[in-house]
């Protein structure tokens, strides 16, 4: 079984992974490979599986964080604010291993390929003598809600945990992220400001749309999705982890109350405990107006107060978002038409 944790950035995915770490019935990947979403983006190429061409799988993996495994094996984890030791992981032996495993499979399909890669990751991190194909493996995606339906369809024996947090607290967490010296992809954090995240990137809209996807999938896949509220996770840890244990069909163990990395307790780099306290909160960071503006995105008609400045601001941002979406979809439509003309 593969257990996938996902959520918007800053929603508590990593905290949940640290709490699940150390449980006797689970094997938790310490990295964030985001391989599921790469296969979802390339699913139209699955028709070429019959060729059993490793280059095809490499194409998929190149659009994921797979190669972070190579970097982390030599330079340490790409963590923002957590101190944890780097585990021994021979990336090149690992890669040879899963490729050989895959070549020995008679007929490829997405489930077999993903199980082979993830089982190999776990084998090389946990140094298991056997191939842990049947173990319950915990992996983390990176805010890729569009891959959830694909994951649940393709991986028949799988479950999904969606980490949730209020949009305002999500934004605060993102605003406090800093660049990492050996990760050029964190350069974008320098742009982060309230106006950039809300007015330019439309994060409150995108957060709510993600949760709409989850609500729909819960109806399509009953019993296979659990929503984990961040505040419950850090303030009511025992109750929340008991619910998650039941959802995952594992026994409840005290280790689930501790944030650990391969059994060792971990803390934030400033020494604070990972649990029982929110490191950053909207009330301490944003103005009253900024909080009211974000709250507008969570309201449903007729709860809007139409005579407030925050509502008018909300309408402007929503219209700007919809116009950008319309233009983007129009470009995709005409690009597809042109491609069919040239190919036809």
> Exposed, middle or buried, 14 (CB in 10 Å: 0-12/13-18/19+)?
buried
Region 220-234: mean pLDDT is: 96
Stretch 272-280: mean pLDDT: 81
Topology (CATH) of 2-166+203-281: Rossmann fold (3.40.50)
Q: Report pLDDT digits (tens) over 123-146.
A: 999 999 999 999 999 999 999 999
Mean pLDDT value of segment 275-303: 85
What's the whole-model pTM score? 0.92
Q: Which residue has the higher pLDDT, 244 or 300?
A: 244
Token pair 């995105």 is at which residue?
A: 297
Model confidence at 302, in pLDDT bands (50, 70, 90)?
low
Position 340 pLDDT exceeds 60: yes
The token pair at 281 is 């909160």
Residue-level pLDDT at 77? 76
DSSP conformation letters of 186-227:
GGGGGG--HHIIIIIS-HHHHHHHHHHHHHHHHHHSTTSEEE
% of the chain residues with pLDDT over 70: 97
* 336: Cβ contacts below 8 Å, ≥ 6 apart: none
Query: For 78-82, 154-158, 304-308, which range has the lowest pLDDT when averaged over its residues?
Result: 78-82
**Residues 179, 182: Cα–Cα separation, whole Å:** 9
Go through the chain and tell me how many residues it has. 344
The mean pLDDT value for 315-332 works out to: 92
Other Cβ atoms less than 10 A from the Cβ of 25: the count is 13
């Amino acid at each position: 079984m593969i257990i996938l944790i996902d959520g918007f950035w800053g929603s508590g995915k990593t905290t949940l992974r640290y709490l699940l770490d150390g449980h006797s019935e689970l094997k938790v990947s310490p990295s964030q490979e985001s391989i599921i979403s790469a296969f979802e983006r390339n699913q139209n190429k699955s028709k070429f599986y019959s060729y059993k061409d490793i280059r095809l799988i490499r194409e998929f993996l190149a659009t994921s964080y797979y190669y972070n495994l190579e970097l982390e094996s030599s330079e340490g984890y790409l963590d923002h604010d957590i101190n944890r030791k780097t585990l021994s992981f021979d990336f090149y032996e690992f890669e040879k291993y899963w490729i050989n495993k895959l070549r020995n499979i008679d007929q490829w399909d997405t489930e077999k390929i993903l199980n082979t890669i993830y089982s190999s990751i776990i084998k090389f991190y946990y140094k298991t003598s056997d191939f842990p194909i049947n173990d319950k493996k915990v992996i983390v995606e990176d805010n890729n809600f569009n891959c959830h339906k694909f994951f649940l369809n393709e991986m028949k024996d799988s479950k999904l945990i969606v980490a949730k947090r209020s949009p305002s607290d999500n934004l605060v967490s993102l605003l406090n992220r800093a660049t990492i010296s050996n990760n050029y992809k964190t350069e974008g954090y320098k742009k982060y400001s309230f106006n950039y995240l809300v007015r330019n990137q439309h994060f409150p809209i995108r957060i709510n749309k993600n949760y709409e996807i989850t609500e729909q999938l819960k109806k399509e896949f009953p019993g296979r999705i659990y929503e984990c509220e961040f505040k419950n996770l850090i303030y009511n840890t025992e109750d929340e982890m008991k619910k998650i244990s039941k959802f995952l069909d594992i026994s409840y163990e005290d280790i689930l109350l501790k944030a650990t990395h391969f059994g060792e307790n971990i803390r934030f780099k400033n020494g604070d405990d990972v649990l029982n306290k929110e490191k950053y909160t909207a009330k301490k960071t944003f103005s009253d107006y900024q909080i009211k503006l974000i709250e507008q995105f969570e309201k449903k008609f007729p709860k809007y107060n139409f005579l407030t400045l925050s509502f008018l601001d909300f309408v402007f941002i929503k219209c700007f978002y919809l116009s950008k979406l319309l233009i983007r979809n129009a470009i995709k439509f005409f690009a597809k038409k042109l491609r069919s003309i040239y190919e036809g």
